Structure 1
Amino acid sequence: MSRYKQASHVYWRCQYHIVWTPKYRFRILKNKVGKEVFRCIHVYCSQLGCEVVELSVQVDHVHLVVKVPPKLSISKLMGALKGKIALKMFSKFPYLRKNKLWGSHFWQRGYFVDTVGINEEIIRRYVRHQEKVERQNQLEIELD
Structure 2
Amino acid sequence: MSRFKKLSHAIWHCQYHIVWVPKYRFRILTGRVAEEVARCIRTFSEQQKAEVIELNVQIDHVHLLVMVPPKVAISDFVGTVKGRTAIRVFNKFRELKQKPYRGNHFWARGYCVDTVGLDAEKIRAYVLYQERREKRAEQLKLDV
Q: 1:103: Cα distance to partner?
A: 2.2
Q: How does 1:12-51 map to 2 (within 5 A)?
A: 12-51=12-51
Paired AA for residue 20 in structure 2: W
Runs of 4+ in 1 over 6 A off after TM superposition: none
Q: 1:99: Cα distance to partner?
A: 1.7
Paired AA for residue 76 in structure 2: K
Write the distance in 2 (CA, Å) between the matches of 1:7 and 1:63: 27
Q: CA RMSD in A?
A: 0.9
Paired AA for residue 97 in structure 1: K
Paired AA for residue 63 in structure 1: H
Write the distance in 1 (CA, Å) between the matches of 2:118 and 2:10: 21
Length-normalised TM-score, structure 2 = 0.80
Unaligned runs of at least 5 residues, structure 1? 120-144
Unaligned runs of at least 5 residues, structure 2? 120-144
SS at match of 1:88: helix
SS at match of 1:54: strand
Paired AA for residue 85 in structure 2: I
Q: How does 1:1-144 map to 2 (within 5 A)?
A: 1-118=1-118
Greater CA drift, 110-119 or 51-60: 110-119
Length-normalised TM-score, structure 1 = 0.80
Q: 1:98: Cα distance to partner?
A: 1.1
Q: 1:76: Cα distance to partner?
A: 0.3
- Of all paired residues, the percent bearing the same amino acid is 56
Deviation track 1:46-69 (CA, whole Å, cap 9, x = no partner) reads 010000001100000000000000
Paired AA for residue 36 in structure 2: E
Write the distance in 2 (CA, Å) between the matches of 1:92 and 1:30: 14
Write the distance in 2 (CA, Å) between the matches of 1:87 and 1:16: 24
Q: 1:30: Cα distance to partner?
A: 0.3
